[in-house]
Structure 1
Amino acid sequence: MAAALIGLTSGAASASGWPPLKEGAYLYSGPNGTGTVTVVDLTDRGTCHALSQAAVSAQVASGFGAVELYDGANCDSKVSWATSSLSQTNLPWAMLSYRAISA
C-alpha cells in the first residue's frame, strides 16, 4: 500500500494541485481539495453527519474505511456516491451529508 500511496501522492498532487495525501478521510467545500475541510471519523461507521457546507471534493487514504455521500441533508437522498479506501476526486455533484463505511 505504501507504494500505491507514494504513486498517488506524487502524481495527483503535482498534476492537479491537491493537498498532500495523508492518512484519513477529508471532504472539501471546493474542487481539487480546496475550501473548508471536514475531517471524517472513519471509525464512526453508519452515523449520518450533515455538512455545514456542501462537499465538492474528497480525499481518502485508509486501509479500512471509505465514505458514502448524499445530496440530501440527512443521508436521505435516493442516490448516494461512495469513495474507495484510496481516493482523491471531485464529486459528481454537491453533497450535503455523509457516513463512514467499511472499505
Structure 2
Amino acid sequence: MFSPRARLRSAAAAAAMAAALIGLNTGAAHATDWPPLKEGAYLYSGPTGTGTETTVDLNDIGTCHTLSEPAASVTIVSGSAALLLYSGPDCTARWPYGTGSLAQWDLPWEMLSYRVVSL
C-alpha cells in the first residue's frame, strides 16, 4: 500500500538522515583535533588550535594588543568577556571580528590585533 512516490520520498528522507549523521560524525572527529577547552582566552597562529599559543589577559579590558604572529584560530571560555579581533595592527580594520564568551573556531582570515571587551 505505499505508492511509488511515497517509497521514493521515504528513501530520500532516509538518505538525507544518513548524510546528516555522517556529517555529524565528521564534525565530532574534527572537534577532537582541538586542544582541550580550558578557562580563559587563547589565540593560535595555526588552524584548529595549533601553532604558537598566545594567552589573552581577560582582565585587560579595552587595551589594544598587536600580535607578534598573526592569529588563525581562537578559543575563549569566559562568562564575562569576549574578544574583538582585527585584521590590521593597532586594532585597525573596518569591521572587527567578535567572538562571544564561549568560542573555539578557526578565524575567517588572519588577525593581527585584538582587544578584550566585557559583556
TM-score category (smaller protein): 0.7 to 0.9
- Mapped to 1, the partners of 2:116 and 2:28 lie a distance apart of 24
CA RMSD of aligned residues (A): 1.6
- Mapped to 2, the partners of 1:41 and 1:13 lie a distance apart of 30
Aligned pairs, number: 93
- Name the CA shift for 1:71/1:22 in 2 (closer, same or farther; >3 Å): same
Matches within 5 A, 1:56-71: 56-71=72-87
Q: Any stretches of 5+ residues in structure 2 without a counterpart? A: 1-26
Matches within 5 A, 1:8-87: 15-87=31-103
Higher Rg:
2
Equivalent in the alignment of 1:8? none
Letter of the 1:44 counterpart: D
State the percentage of identical aligned residues. Answer: 59
- Mapped to 2, the partners of 1:13 and 1:26 lie a distance apart of 21
Q: Any stretches of 5+ residues in structure 1 without a counterpart? A: 1-10
- Mapped to 2, the partners of 1:50 and 1:36 lie a distance apart of 15
Q: How much does 1:91 deviate?
A: 0.4
* TM-score normalized with structure 2 length: 0.73
Q: Which has the higher contact order (CA 8 A, sep 6+)?
A: 1
- Mapped to 1, the partners of 2:88 and 2:34 lie a distance apart of 26
| Structure 1 residue ranges (4+ consecutive) displaced by more than 4 angstroms after TM superposition | 11-14
Letter of the 1:65 counterpart: A
- Mapped to 2, the partners of 1:20 and 1:28 lie a distance apart of 14
- Name the CA shift for 1:99/1:16 in 2 (closer, same or farther; >3 Å): same
